[in-house]
Every structure is written in structure tokens, then in C-alpha cells.
Amino acid sequence: MKMRTDLSRVRGLGAAHDGTGHFWHQRLSGISNAILLTAFVILLVVLHDGTYADVRAAFANPFVGLVMALTIVSATFHMRLGMQVIIEDYIHGHLRVPLQILNTFFAILVAAVSLIAIGRLTFGA
């Protein structure tokens, strides 16, 4: 029996030495998603009857492009974290690592394609 206090056991932060970092990243990205996705929904409501020219005019404002880019980054980061938890909890065996790699690459792909589309709308390419 080891003679350690509860505090000394907790300071080790577990086997991964990461503590609650993943938990906080998920919660903070969730909060940012609530704010940014509200702005996204407002933009959708404003532009729902608009033409493509109206959308291009809205995205010509750099603030709109920046908010939409931040929305994409936050949402894909949160998506990757959530899928990582699902893979860690429910996938066992040799498939876990390849699925984690695919999860990361998929999130990067979604973010990159979305950011390119936002950039093209914002900068008029």
C-alpha cells in the first residue's frame, strides 16, 4: 500500500499527463460555437431570399468573412474533438488509431475546403 495523499495522486494527471485539457477544449469550443453559429444563423436568415450577388456583397465585408472563417475553424475543431471521444469510447482494437488519423484528416479537409470557399467569396476570386 502506497502512502500517498489524494492530492499527490491527482497531480500526476493520469496516464496521459493531460488532465482535463481535452474536456476544457471541448467546452470552450462549444461556447465559441454557440456564439459564432448564432451569427451564422442570423446571416442565413438575412440572406435566405437573396441572390448570389447579395451573398457576394455580404461576404465582401471582411468582418462577415472573418466571423464565418472563425465559425468554420471552431466547428471543425469541436467536431474533431467530439468524434475523437466517440472513437476512444466505442472502438476497440486495431481500428482505433487509423480512425483517429482519418478523423483528423477529415476535419482538416472540411475546414480547408470551407475556408477556401469563404476566401473566394470574401476576396472575389
Domain membership of residue 67 as a residue range: 6-123
**Spatial contact of 62 and 27, defined as CB atoms under 8 Å apart:** no
Domain membership flag for residue 71: yes
Q: Residue 87 corresponds to which amino acid?
A: I
Q: Give me the percent of the chain exceeding a pLDDT of 90.
A: 76
- Count structural domains, the chain: 1
pLDDT at 124: 79
Neighbouring CB atoms inside 10 A of 95's CB total: 11
**Spatial contact of 115 and 72, defined as CB atoms under 8 Å apart:** yes
Residue 10 CA, distance from chain mean position: 29
pLDDT digits (tens, 9 = 90+) for 22-63: 889 999 999 999 999 999 999 999 999 999 999 999 999 999
Residue 121 CA, distance from chain mean position: 21
CATH number of the domain that 107 lies in? 1.20.1300.10
Tell me whether residue 72 is exposed, middle or buried, using C-beta atoms within 10 angstroms of its C-beta: 0 to 12, 13 to 18, 19 or more.
buried
- Which of 73, 96, 69, 60 has the alpha carbon at shortest distance from 25? 73
Neighbouring CB atoms inside 10 A of 73's CB total: 16
Residue found under cell 467569396: 121
Domain membership flag for residue 1: no
- Residue 72 binned pLDDT confidence (cut-offs 50, 70, 90): very high
Average pLDDT value over all residues in the chain: 89
